[in-house]
């Protein structure tokens, strides 16, 4: 962690164009006075603020941000001190696709802020973007002046400035943080992250595995290397924690473990129905709080609306490799072009030979569907992953975007990717054998009877 003095130096260095120099008198600006009357009122209402800072593995089991990170902190005078630096980040969405995005602390999205209910926290926000910014703490109950809405609750943080936010968590749950200044640009380029606040006195069984996911969407034209934040409808990269399949890390759990999945959605324009195969789960909380057990209903798909978090839980009692993905079919494609002619059902005949006289590399595509597109190996624009899915144990996985895999195993040495599930023999769908067909009276040439 940076010391306060180092932070001042860092911000001074930014202002001085990279020169290592101490710039005296550059103030660290406070969004609000450190202790407001209102804040004190809330922090003394029995929900926390007077307790010692929560500690990982003592007071809570840390949340896992796959493909991401948790924001480190240090404790100064009983206050957890965090530092977010908004800056341009070269981010890889999946092997083969990198873009210049905006993130925090060198990551897209920003690291997950994790704390315990009752923790008093202080977040320094340094702006290394070319544009002024703010950070809004979505779903967090805090004093109005800490809410981070540019112009409304504070003046925007100019490039080179460092602002200070401070409040006490008087709730627990899953929240988010994101830019609240020129949102369209700044969120379109990735300025967002998750906030997880653990309860001091949890009710009910604790999860063994606790994962946080940020859902978002992007427009990155194949062959470019910067997301287009102006896009309104035609998004072509859909991400879980800033990664699209096959760039997503699998969720690994041991058989019988309780798994909690926290989803936040800060996509520009889309809700995401996240569907888990092999299980049903219960929706246990939103960013508004926990749902009483009597009101939790079983689901296999949880709709995560834009600007909301949804937390689901289930017991991993069904071993295997299970798909978990957004159920909107266009959200499990990578860099699909949406303005091309529909080629399905077209019989090219000798068309290819004719066109190849003019265009030697021509090939009619898509006439039988898109499934084969991913592994055709045709030359593509640089820095693009159109149609790309991933290699599976039995075939090509024709999925991209918001898709990942839950891997449940009976035995695990650690939570690294255990590889593909070995499906017990006789329990995997395969070519029907002739004697099966015969026995069951299935004619492959006639009509189903």
Partner 1 sequence: MSKCAVAILIVLGLVLLATGCTVPPKGGFDFVEQNAQERIGMRVLWNQGGDEDKAVSEAITSLLQHPLTADDAVQVALLNNRRLQATYEDLGITQAALVQAGLLKNPRFSGNYMPAVEAGPVATAGLELAQDFADLLFIGMRKGIASSEFEASKARVASAVLDKAAETRVAFLEYQAAEQFLEMRKLSADAAAASFEVSQKLFDAGNITKLASASERASLSQAKLDLANAQAAILSLRERLNSLMGLWGPQATDWRSAGRLPDLPKDELDVKNIERQAIKKSLDLSKARAKADAAAGRAGLIRWTTVLSDFDVGVGVNRDDNASWHVGPVFSLQIPIFDQGQAKNAAAVAELRRTLQEYAAEAVELRSAARAARDRLVAARERAAYCRDVLLPVRNEVLHESQLQYNAMQIGVFQLLSSRHDVIDAGIQYVEELRDYWIARANVELILAGRNKSASQELSGSSSSRSSSERKEH
Given the rule CB under 8 A, which residues bind partner 1?
A: 221-223, 335-337, 339-349, 351, 354-355, 357-359, 361-362, 364-366, 370, 373, 378-381, 384, 386-387
Nearest residue (CB) to Cu ion, 43 versus 239: 239
Nearest approach in angstroms of CB 101 to partner 1 is: 21
Nearest approach in angstroms of CB 373 to partner 1 is: 7
Nearest approach in angstroms of CB 392 to Cu ion is: 21
Angle value at C-alpha 169, between 30 and 42, nearest 5 degrees: 85
Nearest residue (CB) to partner 1, 160 versus 374: 374
d(CA 134, CA 182) in angstroms, rounded, equals 9
Nearest residue (CB) to Cu ion, 8 versus 332: 332
**Are residues 118 and 47 in contact, defined by beta-carbon separation less than 8 angstroms?**
yes
Integer angstrom CA distances of residue 315 from 213, 279, 323: 18, 9, 16
Three-state DSSP at 92 gives: strand
Where does this chain bind Cu ion (CB under 5 A)?
272, 326, 328, 331
Nearest approach in angstroms of CB 238 to Cu ion is: 6
Kindly give, in sequence order, each residue whose CB lies less than 8 Å from that of residue 40, ignoring residues fewer than 6 positions away: none
Nearest approach in angstroms of CB 97 to partner 1 is: 12
Nearest residue (CB) to partner 1, 367 versus 443: 367
Residue 370 binding result from Cu ion, partner 1, none, given CB thresholds of 5 to 8 Å by partner type: partner 1
**H or E, element range at 40:** helix 37-43
Strands 120-127 and 79-94 turn out to be parallel
**Are residues 165 and 123 in contact, defined by beta-carbon separation less than 8 angstroms?**
yes
Nearest residue (CB) to partner 1, 223 versus 256: 223
Residue 341 binding result from partner 1, Cu ion, none, given CB thresholds of 5 to 8 Å by partner type: partner 1
- The tokens describing 248, both together, are 């997503």
Residue 351 binding result from Cu ion, partner 1, none, given CB thresholds of 5 to 8 Å by partner type: partner 1
**H or E, element range at 15:** helix 4-15
Residue 212 binding result from partner 1, Cu ion, none, given CB thresholds of 5 to 8 Å by partner type: none
Nearest residue (CB) to Cu ion, 9 versus 306: 306
Nearest residue (CB) to partner 1, 379 versus 441: 379
Three-state DSSP at 131 gives: coil
Nearest residue (CB) to Cu ion, 113 versus 402: 402
**Are residues 174 and 194 in contact, defined by beta-carbon separation less than 8 angstroms?**
yes
Q: If we measure between CA atoms, which residue out of 264, 269, 271 comes closest to residue 287? A: 264
State the SS3 of 316-355: CCCCEEEEEEECCHHHHCCCCCCCCCCCCCCCCCCHHHHH
Nearest approach in angstroms of CB 395 to partner 1 is: 21
Nearest approach in angstroms of CB 327 to Cu ion is: 7
Residue 151 binding result from partner 1, Cu ion, none, given CB thresholds of 5 to 8 Å by partner type: none
Nearest residue (CB) to partner 1, 361 versus 413: 361
Residue 100 binding result from Cu ion, partner 1, none, given CB thresholds of 5 to 8 Å by partner type: none
d(CA 357, CA 7) in angstroms, rounded, equals 64
Residue 373 binding result from partner 1, Cu ion, none, given CB thresholds of 5 to 8 Å by partner type: partner 1
Strands 79-94 and 97-104 turn out to be antiparallel
Residue 344 binding result from partner 1, Cu ion, none, given CB thresholds of 5 to 8 Å by partner type: partner 1
Residue 343 binding result from partner 1, Cu ion, none, given CB thresholds of 5 to 8 Å by partner type: partner 1
Nearest approach in angstroms of CB 236 to partner 1 is: 9
Residue 355 binding result from Cu ion, partner 1, none, given CB thresholds of 5 to 8 Å by partner type: partner 1
Kindly give, in sequence order, each residue whose CB lies less than 8 Å from that of residue 402, ignoring residues fewer than 6 positions away: 215, 238, 239, 240, 244, 245, 272, 274, 325, 326, 331, 332
Residue 331 binding result from Cu ion, partner 1, none, given CB thresholds of 5 to 8 Å by partner type: Cu ion
d(CA 291, CA 211) in angstroms, rounded, equals 18
Nearest approach in angstroms of CB 374 to partner 1 is: 11
d(CA 269, CA 215) in angstroms, rounded, equals 11
The single-letter DSSP state of residue 67 is T
Nearest approach in angstroms of CB 364 to partner 1 is: 7
Nearest residue (CB) to Cu ion, 208 versus 234: 234
Nearest residue (CB) to Cu ion, 134 versus 265: 265
Nearest approach in angstroms of CB 299 to Cu ion is: 16
d(CA 112, CA 196) in angstroms, rounded, equals 7
């Amino acid at each position: 962690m940076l010391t306060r003095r180092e932070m001042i130096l860092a911000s001074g260095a930014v202002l001085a164009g990279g020169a290592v120099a101490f710039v005296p008198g550059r103030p660290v600006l406070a969004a609000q006075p450190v202790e407001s009357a209102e804040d004190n009122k809330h922090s003394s209402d029995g929900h926390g603020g007077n307790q010692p800072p929560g500690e990982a593995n003592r007071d809570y089991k840390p949340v896992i941000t796959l493909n991401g990170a948790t924001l480190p902190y240090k404790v100064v005078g009983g206050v957890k001190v965090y530092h977010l630096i908004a800056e341009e980040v070269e981010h890889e969405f999946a092997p083969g696709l990198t873009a210049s995005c905006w993130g925090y602390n060198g990551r897209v999205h920003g690291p997950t802020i994790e704390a315990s209910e009752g923790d008093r926290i202080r977040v320094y926000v340094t702006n290394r973007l070319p544009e002024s910014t703010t950070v809004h703490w979505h779903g967090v109950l805090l004093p109005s002046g800490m809410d981070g809405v540019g112009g409304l609750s504070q003046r925007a943080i100019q490039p080179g400035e460092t602002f200070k936010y401070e409040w006490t968590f008087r709730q627990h749950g899953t929240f988010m943080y994101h830019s609240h200044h020129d949102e369209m640009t700044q969120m379109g380029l990735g300025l967002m992250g998750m906030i997880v606040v653990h309860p001091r006195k949890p009710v009910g069984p604790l999860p063994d595995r606790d994962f946080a996911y940020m859902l978002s969407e992007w427009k990155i034209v194949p062959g470019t290397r910067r997301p287009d934040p102006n896009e309104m409808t035609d998004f072509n990269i859909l991400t879980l924690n800033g990664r699209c399949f096959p760039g997503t890390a699998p969720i690994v759990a041991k058989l019988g473990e309780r798994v909690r999945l926290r989803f936040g959605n800060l996509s520009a324009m889309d809700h995401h129905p996240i569907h888990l195969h092999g299980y049903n789960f219960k929706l246990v909380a939103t960013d508004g709080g926990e749902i009483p057990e009597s009101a939790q209903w079983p689901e296999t798909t949880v709709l995560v609306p834009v600007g909301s978090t949804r937390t689901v839980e289930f017991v991993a009692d069904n071993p295997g490799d299970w798909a978990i993905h957004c159920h909107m079919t266009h959200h499990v494609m990578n860099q699909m072009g949406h303005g091309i002619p529909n080629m399905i059902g077209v019989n090219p005949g000798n068309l290819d030979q004719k066109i190849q006289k003019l265009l030697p590399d021509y090939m009619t595509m898509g006439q039988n569907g898109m499934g084969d597109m991913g592994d055709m190996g045709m030359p593509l624009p640089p820095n693009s992953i159109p149609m790309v899915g991933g290699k599976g144990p039995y075939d090509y996985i024709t999925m991209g975007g918001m898709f990942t895999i839950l891997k449940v195993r009976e035995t695990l040495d650690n939570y690294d990717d255990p590889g593909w599930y070995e499906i017990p023999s006789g329990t995997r769908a395969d070519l029907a054998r002739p004697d099966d067909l015969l026995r069951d009276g299935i004619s492959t040439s006639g009509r189903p009877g």
